[in-house]
Structure formats: C-alpha cells, structure tokens
Chain A
Amino acid sequence: MDEVIELATDVLVAGGGAAGMFAAIAAARNGARAILIDKNVVGRGGASIMAQMTCAAALGETDADDPQLHLADTLAAGRGLCNESLAALLCEGAPQRIRELAGWKVNWARADNGRINQVLAPGHSRRRCVYVDYLSTGAAICAALRNKVSRNPDIRRLSNVSLTDVVTREGEAIGAVGVDVGSASPVIIKASAVVLAMGGMTKLFKRTTSPNNLAGEGVGIALRAGARLIDLEFLQFYPNGHLAPRMVGLDPTTWEPTRVKLGGRLLNGNGEEFLHEYGEAEGEGYSTTRDTLTYAIYKEVESGRGSPHGGVYLSFQHIPESALRAALGPVIEIFKRNNIDLTRQPVEVLPIAHYQMGGVEVDTDMASCVPGLYAAGELAGGANGANRLSGNALPEALVFGERAGERAARFAAGRRAPSRDMAAARPHVELIRAVRGQNQRHGPSPAAIMSEAKDLMWQKVGPFRTAHALTEAHDRLCSMRERELPAAAVSPERVHNASLVEWFELRNGLFAAEALALGSLFRRESRGAHQRVDFPETSAACERSQRLSLADGKLVSSFAGLQA
C-alpha cells in the first residue's frame, strides 16, 4: 500500500489557465484559502497561453462602444442559443478585467495617442479587440496571472497534479481525487467548494489548435459528479487553421490574427476567390464569421476545388513586405525558419478543431446543479450558444474565472465545516491503485487508444455530420471505453508514470467524446457550428438548448424523442 497524499482547503481550483488562475485569485481576495492544481504547469499549460491575439471588451478606447453592443454581436453569432444572462455577464464584465490586467502589467498594444488599441474581428460591429504584440496576448495574460498567483500566500499552486474525480457525498461536492504525476500517488483534496476550469475537449480531434491537455476530462469528471451538460454538440472549427507547409514554433491559429491585422485573400485550389459564392464579401477584408467560413471552405474542398493538401489557399502576396513586417515583427523570422515567405507563396488552411461552445451547465454564479461544484472558462457552457464570436474566449476565461472564484469562496464560507469523513473518496483512490500496473505489456497503450480516438472524431464527428457516421463513432467510443480501456496496459512505475495519467485522461475524455457524439446525433438540424448533412435546415423546434446528464450510468439527452 502506498501513501495517499491528503490535503484540505476552502476552494479547490482545477486547471491553471486564465480561468483557473483568476478563480484562485478571486477566491483568495474573498477570504478563502485556495489550492490551484494543473496537470502540467500552472500558468503554462492549457489553451489560454496559446491565444495569439484577439480579446474582446467594450472599452470604447478606439470606437465608441458599449457592453450592450458587444452583447448584441455575441447573441447574433450564437444563432439563437446563447444563455443571455451568461453572455451579458461576459460582455459587461470584460472591460473591468482588461483594465485590471493593465494594472497587473499586461502590456496591451496602444495607439500613438496612448489609448489601448482595439481592432475589428469578424462578427463584431465595432473595433473592440485588444491584444499584446506580437501575437502574444495569451502569453502576456498568463505571465501576469501566474505572477499574481505565485505571490499570494493564500494560494497554494500545485503543478503536475491531474484531477481524476470530484468526490461527492449526498449529491454535494466535498473535494476531489487526483494523481500526483511525479510519484503516481493518489491525492485526496478535501474542499468546501470545487471549481473546474480544465478547458474543453478539442485535443480529441486529429487536427486541432489544442494543446496536449484539453482532452475533455472536465466534461467527463463533471458528468460523473452529477452535473448536467449543455449544448455540447457545438464545437467550433477554426476556419484558418494551418495545414501546409509544415510549420512549427507557432500555434496553428496564426492566420486569423494575421488576417485581422492585414486582411488576406482566400483562394480555392484553382486560385479563385470563392467567398462570394456563399453570400459573403470577397477581397482582402475579413468579416465572415467562423461557422460560415468553415462551411464555405469545406464545400470548396468537397467540390474538388481544394488545395494540394485538401484545404484552401490563404494569400498575402498582394501585401507589401514592409506592411507584413510592421504587423508581424519577429513572427516573420519564425515563418522564415519554416521556409514560408508570404510575399512569394500562399499557405494552405483548413478548419480544425478549436473551441468547445457547450460544456457544464452553470448559472451566473458559475454554479453547476451539484452544490459546491463550479465551472469556468471553456468548460462552462452556454454563453456562446451555437457559435462563438472571435475574441470572446479570453474575456470569458477572465470574467467567468473571477466570478467562479468569488462565488465559490462565499459558498465555502457559508458552508458548515465539512466533516472529516472522506470515505466517499475511497473508491476513486482504489481505482488509481488498481489501474497502476494493470495488464502490463499485454494490452494496447493508452497513447495508441488516444490516437485512434482522435482519428475517429476527426473523420466522423467533424463539422459536417450524418446520423450514420455519428452512430458509428458513438458505438465505437462506447466500446473503447468499456472494452479497450479496462484492457489497456499501464506501467507499474512510480516515478513519472505517463501511462497512468493517460489512462485517466482517456477514461474521462472518451466519456466526453461519447457525449459529444450523442448530443450531435440528437440535434437533428443544422445551426452554427453543428452542421448535419442529413438535416441541412435550421429548425425552429430545435431553437433551444440540449441537456445531457447521467442516469443510472447511462447518458440521457433532453432531446430524446424530439422530432426535427
């Protein structure tokens, strides 16, 4: 028997991106002690740090603006499915968070007059998006928050701790169990409130803008704990995802901020502009929303007018080198190291998995239906409806993270001291012990199962879906979770046992993937990021949110039985 590491705190925050760090800061400034854990490194892992440019906030520094205008744009992009209260919270809270970060030394790009510079991003009616040069917005935000977190005596940050389960008793969250990656030891963290800020599930697609740690674990963990999911079927594909030539050292999202700054021409494989065929303006500007752009690119490729690697071309060849240099600075050198010269060649782009609009259903306190369990950031569903506006992910992380931390601290203070009894954690700890060393050298590796899952999701649960492909994906995911996972080989090692961590990543991630396939199957219409080839019309009867929950171990949809 190994030693179980036991910790206790008022507020436990899982996920060290912008939402999680802000939640820990807000919990601490509202009187709580907080533990902030991340599977990788707090402030370095997750998606926030990869964000290159746009962060939307109605500051009114460049154009006259108002949070209500930001809200109107957000609701229009959401195609009728935004939770208006959450979207309003996001838009109204964003300016305060941006100014707060300025005070914490985030160096927002400024115009010559000294005002924060705001740029136009697709779907916004005003120049509204702030950024940090060059393509360093997420990195700058994370550095500032990491600095704040590390100087706060009420926050204990623990990197390399991977959450496996939320512990509940009588339907309420009382803490969590995880694995210490370095020692493979089980960790029990008793907490009066738990905030999940573990991001989305985009790693589960072969082509993705995701870092290595967004495998949907928060979705799986929340489901098991009794939380409801909302509109999980809406998963944004990033239209200008990098496809070719091979490029490393830059996030594959590079082309959208480049287009926001410079424009750029989208051309099909024959070198012709095509956006006008889909009701959009063509030319150098960039105003088409992400769902429409994804649709147009897929249709060109499907019609045999794709580029050599199966996407379309994005060309900046009409832009003078001096303008490229002014907008991109040192990024030009990174292109050069990858043999990309934008003055001489187009690049190939393709929509790739980017952002989970749906997620854990929360109210405006960021509280799930499980008392004591909160969600924030990408993992929290509802604010973005069927399609997220460019630039809304970072303010969502900041505003919802802050709100979740503050409300969790209040909840923790008001809760009668939880008893010392963590008996409910025992089965979760036993599972970690049982899995460590299971089927050594006989079964498939968790890494190989993940590879198959990523191929499967990419091929069958992409932006264009059919009942046939979704059913195949769903059934295969079920059998991977129920058959392959118990048979997977896990190393018995204690020091940095990656296969143990990957096994739990799969356990929760495959569950999330299954929920996405099921939700997509039940939404028999096309709307925003969810396009059904077999139900191409948007249905008035479906203009409402779908909820998924676990009942007697089975996923249940609120849309079951609903006809399109």
Chain B
Amino acid sequence: MSASDALASPLKSARLKIWRGTSREAGRYEEFDVAFEDGDSVLDGLVRIRMQQQPDLAIRFSCFNANVCKECTMLIDGEVQYACIAKLHPGLIQLDPVPNLPVMRDLVTDSLSHKERL
C-alpha cells in the first residue's frame, strides 16, 4: 500500500510556541517548527513534535482526533479549545495549559476530582 504513504509528505510549516514547565510560575515558552498538510490538527502537530523532536513534551489525549475523550483541552492562541479539532495553519500558534487548573507539566493540567486520583 505504498501509495497511501504519499499522504505523509508534508506541505506546510507551523511554528508552535508552547508553555513548558511544572507550574504557571516556573516555566518558559519553547518554539517548535512542525510540518503539516492541510487539515491536520494541533494535536497531530504535538504528537509529531513528541515523536521527532521533544519526547518529554507533556500532552494528554486518548481518542486521537475523534473529539470524544475531551482530554486534549488547552489554550490555543488564548482560547480554550480541543487540540484534536483545532487546525494547524502556517505561522505562529501559541499553546498554554487551560486556565484555572493546577499545571502538572507543560500542557497537562490536574483536571481530575480528588476522589478519582491517588
């Protein structure tokens, strides 16, 4: 099925400016260039960055682009959105952890109720 691999050929490039750190106070932004094709989501870009450049980047998701698990909520250019349906576009995109929840690491916040975690 080699023809289907043609899909992997990237056409465009986005620059993701991502909050890194274990709290809102102790941290910094890091920027990553990521290749994409039309229609790719911000989550696609983040998964690609973890695979190819920065495996330590912390993100959280389960259903992967199906928009049912709701775990990939984050601040995308200042708006609360799901990374799995927000589309990548050329140029700069800023990603921050969702507000009003404690930051665990990078884009992962502590969203579980106390009863549900150790």
Residues of A near any B CB (own CB < 8 A): 5, 40-42, 44-46, 49-50, 138-139, 157-161, 180, 182-183, 185, 187, 207, 210-213, 243-252, 298, 301, 306, 308-311, 337-339, 350, 445-448, 451, 462, 489, 491, 493, 495-496, 498-499
Contact = CB atoms under 8 A, between A and B. Distances in A.
The 8 nearest A-B residue pairs measured at CB: A246-B39, A310-B3, A445-B55, A310-B4, A249-B85, A251-B66, A496-B105, A45-B62
B76 to A, nearest CB: 14
A499 B55 contact: yes
A246 B55 CA distance: 25
A138 B65 CA distance: 16
Contacts of B58: 496, 498
Given A244-B7, A248-B85, A310-B6, A187 B65 contact: no
Contacts, number: 137
B79 to A, nearest CB: 16
B4 A309 contact: yes
A252 B68 CA distance: 13
Interface in B61-118: 61-71, 84-85, 87, 104-105, 108, 110, 112, 115-118
Interface in B12-65: 22, 37-41, 43-44, 50-52, 55-56, 58, 60-65
Contact of A44 (B5, B44, B50, B70): B70
Given A50-B68, A496-B104, A306 B3 contact: yes
A310 B118 contact: no
- Contact count band on B: 35 or more
Q: Is the interface of B mostly helix, strand, loop or mixed?
A: loop
Nearest to A350: B4
A75 to B, nearest CB: 32
A253 B50 CA distance: 26
A445 B57 CA distance: 12
B51 A310 contact: no
A137 to B, nearest CB: 11
Contact of A182 (B39, B41, B110): B110
A207 B112 contact: no
Contacts of A41: 62, 69, 71, 112, 116
5 contacts: A160-B117, A185-B118, A250-B66, A250-B67, A489-B55
A279 B114 CA distance: 57
B116 A157 contact: yes
A250 to B, nearest CB: 6
Given A49-B69, A182-B117, A493-B56, 8 more contacts: A160-B112, A160-B117, A243-B7, A248-B39, A309-B4, A310-B2, A447-B51, A451-B51
B3 A338 contact: no
B118 A249 contact: no
B51 to A, nearest CB: 5
Contact of B68 (A213, A245, A251): A251
Contacts of B116: 41-42, 157-159
Contact of B7 (A249, A301, A309): A309
B106 to A, nearest CB: 8
A446 B41 contact: no
Contacts of B62: 40-41, 44-46, 211-213
A491 B57 CA distance: 11
A247 B40 CA distance: 8
Given A50-B68, A447-B50, A161 B118 contact: yes
B1 to A, nearest CB: 5
A561 to B, nearest CB: 33
A475 B78 CA distance: 48
Nearest to B106: A496
Nearest to A41: B71
A495 B105 contact: yes
Nearest to B4: A310
Contacts of A338: 39
A251 B65 CA distance: 7
A233 B16 CA distance: 41
A212 B61 contact: yes
Nearest to A339: B39
Most buried by B among A40, A252, A462: A40
B44 to A, nearest CB: 8
Contact of A448 (B55, B56, B108): B55
A489 B56 CA distance: 10
Given A41-B62, A50-B66, A338-B39, A496 B1 contact: no
A297 to B, nearest CB: 10
Given A44-B71, A159-B116, A251-B68, A301 B3 contact: yes
Contacts of B44: 248
